[in-house]
Structure 1
């Protein structure tokens, strides 16, 4: 009996990652493929709320993907993949982020679009396949969109995201603003975690011209729950820098109500972060007005700064 293909997202899974893995596995199964959803890490409070709300089984954890066949969703960089992915066969990628350097020996389906959520792309894939989106699947896909776009308020939000969210909300039978408010309230539970759990809750690692840069984000309606523990949080960030040999670790504490972020930083290359973001850190902290998107407002700027430094 052949092994299944695993649909899996990045190492610190968020709601879009988990919901996309479940939804795409459902679509592939409808098309006759032996595919199962998986996760590469623990669920955050918001995602746990979503799977409970829609009565969905949590995907099994895949700790080592070596020798397996993988479909990657919501990422396409080895620095973010499940352990063992470099020794796995990657057969598809569905994503909405920058291209990150994964190579394959054979041509694969690689769907990458500049939208606010992987779930937006998956909705189109259901339509392309002429497959019905059930109430439960619509709830999952809607959750992925609302989470990743901060209820359609993030600068990454596109008209497609808005159109698809409205349609999915109709299928799921919810008011997306009211449901989105429920999602946002779950994000504030991050303050109940330990400093290490907080800084790694949505952590992604990037390779900028050979230097490993960690960029985390905590989205909350109560940023004080994190910032009041700043000394312990920065200490935890320094531990991560040492463990992962990061040039720097930038953590965005994003206030979802005020629509801005406070950045915390650790590591030896703080000056490059200051250059890239055109800011100054005092006691490891800097206020970034209007910054909500790591993908659109932070990653490109830091990639340019590190690239210019190494040139």
Structure 2
């Protein structure tokens, strides 16, 4: 059995790519199972419910298991026990983050907006039919990660693959995309800690450990009106987890700007973005993407 799994704090791309890629492996005669390492968010729940797809089983320890990673390739973002697992494959669209294997493996990493784009493309290149439900969740993952093709991470390939998937599942991209943006914005009665860690990733830049959370919303004021409580909780997390820097990106999907809340060491952030931090925050105009617009300048400065 091979376990197909996305990153900790899974988003829609991480969950849906795992489901779809496990399905492809099974079609090819491989015994694979999609799993997750964390609770699903409201947007992902909406997507799986819409297309009547089961939520993958949660798993915390990968030790002694055969594993396929999707949507990540860094130990700091993976479920526990990865170093004691047998890593078989990686399908991802992020930076290469330091995985080490004893044997050669299939490693497909491509600069596109979503892992789901790669998974769908693999189906098509192998002339495998994409079931309607699978097309629906793959399309959803692409629209989520590219903010309905509005993010700078979106590529021509993402747009082309999304169009093909929309034809298979019978969904209008713009209409459905707006529904998804509303779901992405739902924060409900979340506590500050849950908001910070809801979509969260760790990065190792040299000897520095940095945590970056992101909230994508069409109503950013609902988040920013809790700024004092969020910063108080961020300071606790920074100390508890020994982060050099902790950042929460509050991204306005309509204005395409981001307010960054920052605790811990701030000098490198100021240098990376040429921004003065005031009251633990800075405005990043035109910034939507953590992967493409925030992590690279931070890494260049801190590493």
The TM-score normalised by the length of structure 1 is: 0.96
- Deviating above 4 A after TM superposition, structure 1's stretches of 4 or more consecutive aligned residues are none
Matched, 1:215 2:217: no
**272, 288, 299: which is aligned to 2:295?**
299
Aligned to 2:114: 117
Aligned to 2:18: 21
Q: Is the 8 A contact 1:191 1:225 kept in 2?
A: no
SS in 1 for 2:186: helix
Aligned to 1:290: 286
Deviation track 1:160-205 (CA, whole Å, cap 9, x = no partner) reads 0011111111111010111111110011112531110110011100
Distance 1:244 1:168 in 2: 41
- 1:55-70 alignment, distance < 5 Å: 55-70=52-67
Matched, 1:261 2:254: no
Query: How far does residue 304 in structure 1 lie from its aligned partner after superposition?
Result: 0.9
Aligned to 2:273: 277
For structure 1, the residue ranges without an aligned partner over 5 or more in a row are none
Distance 1:259 1:98 in 2: 23
Aligned to 1:226: 223
SS in 2 for 1:264: strand
Query: How far does residue 259 in structure 1 lie from its aligned partner after superposition?
Result: 0.6
**129, 132, 136: which is aligned to 1:135?**
132
Deviation track 1:40-66 (CA, whole Å, cap 9, x = no partner) reads 101111001001111110000011111
Matched, 1:184 2:184: no
Query: How far does residue 234 in structure 1 lie from its aligned partner after superposition?
Result: 1.1
Moved more, 201-210 or 190-199: 190-199
SS in 2 for 1:6: strand
Distance 1:68 1:241 in 2: 32
Query: How far does residue 69 in structure 1 lie from its aligned partner after superposition?
Result: 1.2
Deviation track 1:121-155 (CA, whole Å, cap 9, x = no partner) reads 00111012211001100001000100000000000
- 1:78-227 alignment, distance < 5 Å: 78-227=75-224
Distance 2:236 2:17 in 1: 31
Distance 1:191 1:287 in 2: 25
Distance 1:5 1:78 in 2: 18
Moved more, 238-247 or 250-259: 238-247
SS in 1 for 2:228: helix
Distance 1:57 1:191 in 2: 23
Distance 1:244 1:213 in 2: 10
Distance 2:106 2:216 in 1: 32
Distance 2:10 2:262 in 1: 22
Q: Is the 8 A contact 1:6 1:36 kept in 2?
A: yes
Count of residue pairs brought into register by the alignment: 303
Quote the RMSD (CA, aligned, Å). Answer: 0.8
Distance 1:61 1:243 in 2: 25
